[in-house]
C-alpha cells in the first residue's frame, strides 16, 4: 500500500472548497516556466483539489515552510520549490492548474509554489496572499489503491459563512472573476429566471465604481467546433448583460460581451467535471 500525503494546515485555516476526481491525470509542475511552457510530470490516480483561507498577517513562506517540512518527513521528494518571479511570474501562474476564484486567489507577485512526489503519489502546494488574507491550494494525487490523502487544520474550523470572499475583492485583485452561480437552460443560451448573487454584486460594484466598465466573456467546453462554441458563448454572455440591465439597472453602455468558445479552458476537457467547469461566464474589469 502506497502512502499518501497527510498535511496539517495552520491553526485557523478555514476550508473553502474541495473537488475530487475518482480517476484522472494531473500534470505535476516540476520546473519554472520556460518559453511559455511549464515542465511537468504525468501522474494518474485519485485527484483531490482543496483550498483554504488563512486570515492574519502570516507571510507566504511562514505558511508554506511547515507544509514543506511535513512532506519531507513523510518521504516526499521535492520536485519544484519556487517563488513568484523565480517560477515565471504571470506565465507560470497561468500555466499551472489553479482552482477558480473566489475559491483560490493568487497575486502574481506574492505566491510560492511547491511540488513533491513519492513513488506514484504526488502533491502540489500553492500559497498566495491576496486581498488581506492568505490562500492555500493543495492538489494531491494517489493511485486508486492508495489511502486517500488527508489534509486537516491544526484546529478544526469550518469556513465562516459570515465572511465569504466578495466578488468585488476578486475583481480588484485579479481583474476578472468567474460568475459561478449562473444557470442556463439545458441546451440553451438563455439564463434561467431567478436571483443571482453574483449579478447583484456586479451591479453594486459598478454603481459604486463609475470609473469601471465590464467585459463579459463566455466560455465553453470543446464539444463541437470553435465557430459554434464562439457563437454560443457570446450569446450566453449577452443574456447575462441583458439580465444585468433589466433586473439590476446597469447601463448597457458599460458592458461589452465577447465569446471565447473553448480557447481558454481552466480545467481538462477530457473529463465531464472539467467540461462543466469550462462552461462559464467571466466578468473582466475594464477602465473607461
The DSSP code for 15 is E
Assign domain 167-287 one CATH number from 3.30.1330.60, 1.10.10.10, 3.30.1020.10, 3.40.50.300.
Answer: 3.30.1330.60
Are 214 and 238 spatial neighbours (Cβ–Cβ below 8 Å)?
Answer: no
Q: Pick from 211, 191, 221: which is nearest to 254 by CA?
A: 211
Determine contact, residues 120/47, Cβ cutoff 8 Å.
no
User: For 191-219, what is each residue's pLDDT tens digit?
Assistant: 988 888 899 999 999 999 999 999 999 99
Residue ranges per domain, the chain? 6-153, 167-287
CA distance to 4, 20, 66, 78, 123, per residue, from 70 (Å): 12, 22, 6, 12, 12
- CA distances to 121, 184, 222 from 262, rounded to whole Å, are 31, 17, 6
Residue 153 has pLDDT above 60, yes or no: no
Q: Convert the pLDDT of each residue in 104-151 to its tens digit.
A: 888 888 899 999 999 999 999 999 988 778 999 999 999 876 544 555
Question: How far is Cα 16 from Cα 52, in angstroms, rounded to an integer?
Answer: 5
48's CB contacts (< 8 A; 6+ apart) are 18, 19, 20, 21, 138, 139, 140, 148, 149
Contact (Cβ atoms closer than 8 angstroms) between residue 104 and residue 98: yes
* Cis, peptide link before residue 102, omega less than 30° from 0: yes
Q: How confident is the model at residue 158 (pLDDT cuts 50, 70, 90)?
A: very low
Amino acid at each position: 500500500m502506497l502512502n499518501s500525503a497527510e498535511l496539517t494546515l495552520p491553526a485557523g485555516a478555514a476550508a473553502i472548497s474541495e473537488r475530487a476526481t475518482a480517476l484522472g491525470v494531473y500534470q505535476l509542475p516540476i520546473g519554472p516556466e520556460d518559453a511559455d511552457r511549464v515542465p511537468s510530470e504525468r501522474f494518474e490516480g485519485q485527484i483531490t483539489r482543496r483550498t483554504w483561507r488563512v486570515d492574519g498577517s502570516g507571510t507566504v513562506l511562514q505558511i508554506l515552510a511547515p507544509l514543506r517540512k511535513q512532506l519531507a518527513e513523510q518521504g516526499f521528494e521535492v520536485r519544484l520549490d519556487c517563488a513568484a518571479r523565480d517560477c515565471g511570474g504571470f506565465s507560470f501562474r497561468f500555466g499551472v492548474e489553479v482552482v477558480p476564484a473566489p475559491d483560490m486567489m493568487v497575486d502574481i507577485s506574492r505566491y510560492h509554489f511547491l511540488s513533491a512526489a513519492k513513488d506514484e503519489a504526488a502533491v502540489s502546494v500553492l500559497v498566495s496572499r491576496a486581498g488581506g488574507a492568505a490562500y492555500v491550494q493543495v492538489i494531491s494525487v494517489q493511485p486508486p489503491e492508495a489511502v486517500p490523502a488527508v489534509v486537516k487544520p491544526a484546529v478544526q474550523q469550518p469556513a465562516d459563512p459570515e465572511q465569504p470572499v466578495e466578488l468585488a475583492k476578486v475583481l480588484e485583485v485579479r481583474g476578472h472573476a468567474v460568475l459561478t452561480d449562473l444557470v442556463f437552460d439545458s441546451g440553451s443560451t438563455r439564463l434561467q429566471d431567478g436571483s443571482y448573487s453574483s449579478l447583484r454584486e456586479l451591479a453594486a460594484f459598478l454603481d459604486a465604481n463609475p470609473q469601471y466598465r465590464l467585459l463579459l466573456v463566455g466560455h465553453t467546453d470543446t464539444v463541437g467546433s470553435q465557430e459554434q462554441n464562439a457563437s454560443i458563448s457570446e450569446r450566453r454572455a449577452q443574456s447575462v448583460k441583458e439580465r444585468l440591465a433589466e433586473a439590476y439597472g446597469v447601463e448597457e453602455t458599460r458592458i461589452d460581451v465577447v465569446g471565447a468558445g473553448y480557447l481558454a479552458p481552466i480545467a481538462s476537457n477530457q473529463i465531464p467535471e472539467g467540461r462543466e467547469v469550462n462552461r462559464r461566464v467571466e466578468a473582466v474589469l475594464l477602465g473607461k
